[in-house]
Amino acid sequence: MKATVTAHRDYRIATIDDRLYGAFLEHLGRAIYSGVYEPGHPTADANGMRRDVIDLVRELKVPIVRYPGGNFVSAYNWEDGIGPRDKRPTRLDLAWHTSESNAVGVHEFADWSAAAGTEMMLAINLGSRGLDEARNFVEYVNGPTGSYWGDLRKANGRAEPFGVKHWCLGNEMDGPWQVGHKTAHEYGRLANETAKTLRAFDSSLELIVCGSSNSDMATYPEWERIVLEHCYDSVDHVSLHMYFANRAKNTAEYLALGEKLDAYIGTIASTIDFVRAAKRSRKKVTISFDEWNVWYHSNAQDREILAGAKGWPHAPRLLEDIYNFEDALQVGCILNTFIRRSDVVRIACIAQLVNVIAPIMTEPGGAAWRQTTFYPYYFASVFGRGDALQLSVKSPGYDAEVADNVPYVDISGVHDAEGKALTFFVVNRNPSETIDLDVSLQGFSAASVGDHQVLAGAPLEATNTLVAPTTITPKKGSGAAVADGSLTAKLPPHSYQMIRLNLA
């Protein structure tokens, strides 16, 4: 089987926004407690943050982290997480049926973000609360001393404003499961008034309004149209979410879901354009895809806790999906889709970062390790910065429920002019055939293979665990070559590859 691709230096989709490789941390399960924060851990720093986890987050070069939720934020009082720890209240978390000690709040998260080399993106509770708490939170975080909230922050140990630029106006407000769920009109008005108020404080904030929780919602995509008609002029990004699952144990259908993601992004891009035209606006609202990942392995084991059968445990094991090799292929396809839609997707956050549906897992008091999905995320984040190329792809394909002629070869290409590199991320969705890949390189200076990393040849159900953390690790590839202006490589069945070319 053969696939041919043309990559031309001048055929660009967009300069990829670094924020495309963001992540998400929620007060959920063990994401925070025994995930990033574990004061008694042998690697804990002076703030009680696990250094082993910080090192892995740094390895991933995560540019931005959304916090503190998620569904959690819709009944969260941000004030519970400030001031002396021994005075902070323990609250019931209605989203996940657990207890929240509030040992970590915005100050601790800021310290962690600085240590991990990442920027904060904060979510505001627009479920159980409203405009006043939103403005107080933003003033507390970013306001000057000499005013009430700035002075309180100083009294709590931080005189300098945190300078957080990105603010999410609630979370999944279209979802009936959300505390304070709203209709599109109710939410659109509230989001607009909140955005206007926050802009009166600082017009340069980047504000993210809730779009659909997924593209199967009954209100999608009317939700986006109505919400944006209320607030187009006062927000910057629409937030979308999507989780992927292979419940039917059908790998071909599962790996085709990137096509559904692509259609979802395309529909919302069109909805944005529609509202923009209706408003005669020049402003371009873009997409913040701030929750995406595989999520289904842990559903059954989580039921008891979510149903309240265990009372209100603090930081229990929840949403601890153990990812397999098949999921790594899926994450490769998802990231390729974001790179190909980087003209409109400016921010994306893998959900989540540690322990909870995450590429990084930890054991309390013990090790931290990389899940299978760590690797495609790592390669895209580290080597996928630059210009996304508009590739012309001719690949054999197959018909799936979500789309016809899904190409076996899922590929994206990124040109890093400054670093003189051209990188391809390639998934072969074919279960049994090796595909001969031929990429015609046009307009590029002489190229040679600089790095070639492969995930292949493992059972689809293979996992990395505490006792066997390196079952799935990338291997150095062989056989990729550049000659006569073409890159050739062999793509084994069900494989992921990162091929990085050095340019002269």
Q: Which residues bind ligand AHR (CB under 6 A)?
A: 26, 69-71, 171-172, 213, 291, 351-352
Gap between the Cα atoms of 266 and 270, Å rounded: 6
Gap between the Cα atoms of 91 and 94, Å rounded: 9
Nearer to ligand AHR, 100 or 139 (CB): 100
Nearer to ligand AHR, 171 or 355 (CB): 171
Nearer to ligand AHR, 98 or 352 (CB): 352
- Shortest separation between residue 351's beta carbon and ligand AHR, angstroms: 4
Cβ neighbours, 10 Å, residue 259: 20
- Shortest separation between residue 362's beta carbon and ligand AHR, angstroms: 17
Contacts of 320 (CB under 8 A, 6+ apart): 29, 30, 298, 301, 355, 356, 357, 361
- Shortest separation between residue 268's beta carbon and ligand AHR, angstroms: 17
| Phi-psi label, residue 319: left if phi above 0, alpha if psi -120 to 50, beta otherwise | left
Nearer to ligand AHR, 3 or 351 (CB): 351
- Shortest separation between residue 236's beta carbon and ligand AHR, angstroms: 20
- Shortest separation between residue 175's beta carbon and ligand AHR, angstroms: 7
Answer yes or no: are the C-beta atoms of 103 and 88 closer than 8 Å. yes
Contacts of 11 (CB under 8 A, 6+ apart): 389, 390, 391
- Shortest separation between residue 249's beta carbon and ligand AHR, angstroms: 23
Residues composing the chain: 504
Evaluate the omega torsion of the peptide bond into residue 352 and state whether it is cis, within 30 degrees of 0.
yes
- Shortest separation between residue 70's beta carbon and ligand AHR, angstroms: 3
Q: In 3-state terms, what secondary structure has residue 385? A: coil
Give the distance from CA 201 to its chain's centroid: 28
- Shortest separation between residue 145's beta carbon and ligand AHR, angstroms: 34
Nearer to ligand AHR, 74 or 234 (CB): 74
Of 118, 123, 17, 120, give the one whose Cα is nearest residue 63. Answer: 118
Nearer to ligand AHR, 208 or 489 (CB): 208
Answer yes or no: are the C-beta atoms of 401 and 256 closer than 8 Å. yes
Residue with CB nearest ligand AHR? 70
Instruction: List, in sequence order, every residue forming a beta bridge with 122; answer none if it has no partner.
Output: 67, 167
Gap between the Cα atoms of 472 and 489, Å rounded: 21
**Is 320 an active-site residue?**
no
Nearer to ligand AHR, 172 or 410 (CB): 172
Evaluate the omega torsion of the peptide bond into residue 144 and state whether it is cis, within 30 degrees of 0.
no
Q: What is the amino acid identity at position 82?
A: I
Q: Which of 100, 172, 224, 320 is catalytic?
A: 172
Torsion angle in degrees (nearest 10) through CA of 49, 51, 54, 56:
-140
Q: Which of 108, 224, 291, 326 is catalytic?
A: 291
Nearer to ligand AHR, 98 or 428 (CB): 98
User: Any idea which residue has 């055929």 for tokens?
Assistant: 11
Of 128, 238, 228, 223, give the one whose Cα is nearest residue 181. Answer: 128
**Is 79 an active-site residue?**
no
For the chain, the farthest-separated pair of C-alpha atoms sits apart, in whole angstroms, at 69
Q: For residue 109, what is the DSSP state?
A: H
- Shortest separation between residue 237's beta carbon and ligand AHR, angstroms: 16
Gap between the Cα atoms of 330 and 222, Å rounded: 28
Q: In 3-state terms, what secondary structure has residue 255? A: helix
Answer yes or no: are the C-beta atoms of 296 and 247 closer than 8 Å. yes
Of 184, 73, 189, 109, give the one whose Cα is nearest residue 353. Answer: 109
User: How many H-runs (helices) and E-runs (strands) does the chain carry?
Assistant: 11, 26
Nearer to ligand AHR, 26 or 326 (CB): 26
- The residues assigned a catalytic role are 172, 291
